Chains A and B, each alone.
Chain A
Amino acid sequence: MSIWEYANPVRFLALSAKVQPYAWGLAAVGIVVGLVWGFFGTPDDFRQGSTVKIIYLHVPSAWIAINAWIMMLVASLIWLVRRHHVSALAAKAAAPVGLVMTVIGLLTGAIWGQPMWGTWWAWDPRLTSFLILFLFYLGYIALWAAIDDPDTAADLTSVLCLVGSVFALMSRYAVLFWSQGLHQGASLSLDKEENISDVFWLPLVICIAGFTLLFLALVLYRTGTEIALRRARALTARQERVA
């Protein structure tokens, strides 16, 4: 028994069907509990007032936006090395989710930034690298959509994902040259003591866990859809050959 057995679409779908109800359920519980606790159960920040509460949407969506790309990178590598179709389809399925999360991150950031910094947008390193990530998602999805043959599309988007990751990382450091740094440092970290205050910490972690589970559920669901689409495509092609 190894993880590679789930490269078989039938096995993958069976496992996915077992996992999905838990993922959806726990995601719903996590997001509802986290958001309700965050919005109503925590005090207003002494400087930022109630606007601080957008953090419960902003940080989890940004977290997913970045990690979705990393997941796509791993899935692309698996596709390129071992040519498991489920892997390529999972990468395809994750891209729109990542794109939406990037947009949520940018929008909530803008809504948060307006009262705090007095501006909707600043060419700050973190903001800028996020915008570039948004462009990468757009290009990746557009490339998938532009190629007819699914295997070629999977190949080319995987190469784009690999090269894009290198450049995304490079952009991250390049944009540090605009070192104005309006954006605060990391809200959470494992090794530092500079976490945000304890009152906000627990609901935020619950929110992040909820978003992560939501991402998992969405990717499993969308991968299933992609597999179904591939099957429908194969059946149609066979029918056309017979006819």
Chain B
Amino acid sequence: MIALLVRDLRLALRAGGGFGLGLAFFLILTVLVPFSVGPQSTLLSTIAPGVLWLGALLACLLSLDRLLALDYEDGTLDVLATAPLPLEAALAVKGVAHWITTGLPLVVAAPALGVLLNLPAQGYGWLVVSLALGTPALSMIGTFGAALTVGIKRGGLLLSLLVLPLYVPTLIFGAEAARRGAVGMSVETPLILLAGISLGCVALLPFAAAAALRMTIR
């Protein structure tokens, strides 16, 4: 499992583009928002938590296409499916690798971009916490979506369509936690629910993803 994780991380680092693409997209979105809604600082600080969460989610979505497709094309997935390691575990590792290469950088970068959107000072901590709790769910849901669409040619847009409604609860609770943190309200309820979603996704979705993948490469 660790070997697989290291391999995936190395590939993401060396293949170029994949690793920084999400971050670049996050930066682009955040920079464009003040141009589109106007640069009033009060307005920006109101919408900052939601925009940052949305940016993180879309950046995550952007990289899902590559999550399994390359391994499917070169036959690695067939090897993984017949390997002694259960396919569920392999897909969980894939999800973790995706989170480390996409989710984690977003969590780290979010405060820096918060400055651009005039996020209130008390909001930074909760933004980071909510993203750190929520992005694992995004990665696992994405792994499931990628497993569903991996056998389909040009499945990228379909993948986005399938994953979009699944992302809704995570986005609602994540953005709500960040927003409440920014205005100084109590954040416990959305944070607990967010953590619950993430834990549930990490615990259950590898099984669904493995089932879907087995049906494709049968």
Interface residues of A (CB under 8 A from B): 132, 135-136, 138-139, 142-143, 146-147, 152, 155-156, 159-160, 162-164, 167-168, 170-171, 173-175, 177
| Shortest distance between the CB of A148 and any CB in chain B (Å) | 9
Contact B148 A156 (CB under 8 A): yes
B144, B161, B173: the one contacting A139 at CB < 8 Å is B161
Q: A177 vs B170: C-alpha distance in the bound complex, in angstroms?
A: 12
Residues of A within 8 A of B205 (CB): 163
Contact B168 A174 (CB under 8 A): yes
Q: A167 vs B172: C-alpha distance in the bound complex, in angstroms?
A: 13
Contact B215 A152 (CB under 8 A): yes
Interface residues of B (CB under 8 A from A): 144, 148-149, 151-152, 155, 158, 161-162, 164-166, 168-169, 172-173, 176, 190, 193, 197, 205, 208, 211-212, 215-216, 218
B148, B151, B169, B190: the one contacting A160 at CB < 8 Å is B148
Residues of A within 8 A of B197 (CB): 170
Nearest to B166 among chain A residues (CB) is A167
| Shortest distance between the CB of B78 and any CB in chain A (Å) | 16
Residues of B within 8 A of A139 (CB): 158, 161-162, 164-165
Describe A's contact surface by its main secondary structure. Answer: helix
Contact A138 B212 (CB under 8 A): no
| Shortest distance between the CB of B22 and any CB in chain A (Å) | 23
Q: A139 vs B172: C-alpha distance in the bound complex, in angstroms?
A: 20
B148, B164, B166: the one contacting A143 at CB < 8 Å is B148
